[in-house]
Structure 1
Amino acid sequence: MTERSEGTGRVSPKSGGAERSEATPLWVVVPAYNEQARIGGTLDALAAQTDLDFTLLVVDNGSTDGTADVVHRFAATAPVPVLLIREPDKGVGCAVDTGFRHAITHGALLLARTDADCLPAPGWVAAARAALSAGAGMVCGRISARRDEHGPLGRAGFRAVVAIAAAFGRLRPAHREAGYLAPYRMHAGNNMAITAALYLACGGMPRRPSPTDRTFLNRVRRTTPAIARSRTMVVANSTRRLRAYGLRRSARWYLDRGSGDLTPDPR
């Protein structure tokens, strides 16, 4: 495993991990902030992929807990190359952009992203690779609610919030203006993949706190019509925002109305 501090540019090798002598063309980027309790599940889900021909890059966005320690322990026996870098500028947009650009600099041609509180299904990497290899510049997957965080009612509430946000996005006049090359269809930033060439061409992820997904999608829509959706590219999302905000405030957040007096990143 390699650990890097983005601010200094120093690179120091860590013992253990599944090192390879050459970079893989597909990298999976996972931004993380204070995810000690959940990132282990995410890492295990990535280790259980049917397609293990990828490099895993975790971007620690200034965690103050044991997130990095969990990554270190995982890397010692991981079936894929694992790297950990730190991004001191707060915000998921900063962490994702730094991670994607680091991967591209080190040879990545295809990029996939999930978050450190999510559980990608075993065929997630394979589905992302298949869609990009078939000609998509960007592919968006299907999201569901984690079954270990909420019961049926909570999962139904999550589906309702996502459906409302998706409908709002399609109907929003600003998303139907001239200049877009593809219709608007909501995508989850924690379940997407993109070619390195398109990421650079569209300008990349906005470097700001969440929410960033809508702005990024519109950047891509202004660059290419080659945006695909994959029903087999599945990620189970954390429902902790629903628990922290309640249904109404969660809907406001997903509709890009901000979090009001609540933290934008509940833990």
Structure 2
Amino acid sequence: MTAPDPAPAPAGLWVVVPAHQEEARIGGTLRALAAQHDRDFTLVVVDNASTDATARIARAFAARAPFPVHVIEEKEKGVGCAVDTAFRYAIERGAVHLARTDADCLPRPGWTAAARRPLTAAGPGGALVCGRVDARRDEHGPLGRAAFRTMVRAAALFGRLRPAHARRHGYLAPYRMHAGNNMAVTSGLYLRVGGMPRRPSPTDRTFLNRVRRHTTAITHCGAMVVENSTRRLKAYGLLGTARWYLDKGCGPLGRTPLMLDHLDSTLRRDPTAPRC
């Protein structure tokens, strides 16, 4: 059941957080949003068919949050379904600018302010802004975080060099690494490109390529930083995680007997670890 709408923030920025079985981590995400320097926004937490306390934690936060919070449900599983439902929910209620992070991520305190600036400066055609992702400092030591950064850089390079991403295929802008857990878009552009693909993750590359067919207004904002969970790195290993971020799923690299044994062990220790 969706709670009655609280009064939205006046500035037109809405932040969306999709969440599935995130009772162990969503509290940290909500606290990070409450610690933003710019808190003039409305938050939408979309509970994506969770059976744990995810929604209850979000509703308890809503009662004391320093900004309006909507907690809604999307029963069709898949991060694309959850994000699209939440974005369209926000747009129907007057959202002009949309930002997204995930329920296992920690936006740094300047995140909303950094997201707002390029969206506000965008022309009538709108814009997509891609932020910078780093590894959560509470999940890995220096070597793990360095491995994560290396993987992200490698994926970004591969995306730029991938022949299917060349502009001769009808794209108006070069490929730029786009992490769905750290992005912002104007509502008009979101609707114009058809929204987020309504399917399970990964969806980021498909959405970015939809945007690339409509506009050149795709920017990277280095001040828009989210600390990303590295639990996928723990569960799938470096090669399996790289395959995931290249939009192939963990696939055969994630399904070798050794990897399955490792994943089963990880799931026993942490039932919220990501599954393919």
Matches of 2:24 and 2:9 in 1, distance apart? 32
Structure-1 residue corresponding to 2:268 = none
What are the Cα deviations for residues 85-122 of structure 1, in whole angstroms up to 9, with x where unaligned? 10011100000000000000111011000000000011
Matches of 1:194 and 1:257 in 2, distance apart? 24
Matches of 2:40 and 2:63 in 1, distance apart? 17
* RMSD of equivalent CA atoms: 1.8
Matches of 2:235 and 2:229 in 1, distance apart? 11
Task: Give the counterpart of 1:206 among 165, 190, 197.
Answer: 197
1:35 aligns with 2:22: yes
How far apart are 1:20 and its partner, in Å?
2.8
Task: Give the counterpart of 2:162 among 145, 154, 172.
Answer: 172
Paired residues, number: 254
In the superposition, the TM-score normalised over structure 1's length comes to 0.91
Matches of 2:8 and 2:58 in 1, distance apart? 21
Structure-2 residue corresponding to 1:111 = 98
Structure-1 residue corresponding to 2:135 = 145
Equivalent AA in structure 1 for residue 45 of structure 2: V
Structure-1 residue corresponding to 2:274 = 266
Structure-1 residue corresponding to 2:149 = 159
Structure-2 residue corresponding to 1:7 = none
* Preserved CA contact (<8 Å) 1:23 1:106: no
Runs of 4+ in 1 over 2 A off after TM superposition: 19-24, 260-263
Task: Give the counterpart of 1:92 among 61, 79, 98.
Answer: 79
* Preserved CA contact (<8 Å) 1:23 1:108: no
Equivalent AA in structure 2 for residue 181 of structure 1: L
SS in 2 for 1:142: strand
Aligned residues with identical type, % of pairs: 68
* Preserved CA contact (<8 Å) 1:113 1:192: yes
Matches of 1:190 and 1:250 in 2, distance apart? 15
In proportion to residue count, which structure has more helix? Answer: 2
What are the Cα deviations for residues 48-95 of structure 1, in whole angstroms up to 9, with x where unaligned? 111111100001000011001111111111000000110011100000
How far apart are 1:24 and its partner, in Å?
4.6
Unaligned stretches of 5+ in structure 2? 264-272
How far apart are 1:22 and its partner, in Å?
6.5
Unaligned stretches of 5+ in structure 1? 5-11
Equivalence map 1:183-194=2 (5 Å): 183-194=174-185
Equivalent AA in structure 2 for residue 266 of structure 1: P
How far apart are 1:257 and its partner, in Å?
2.1
* Preserved CA contact (<8 Å) 1:24 1:107: no
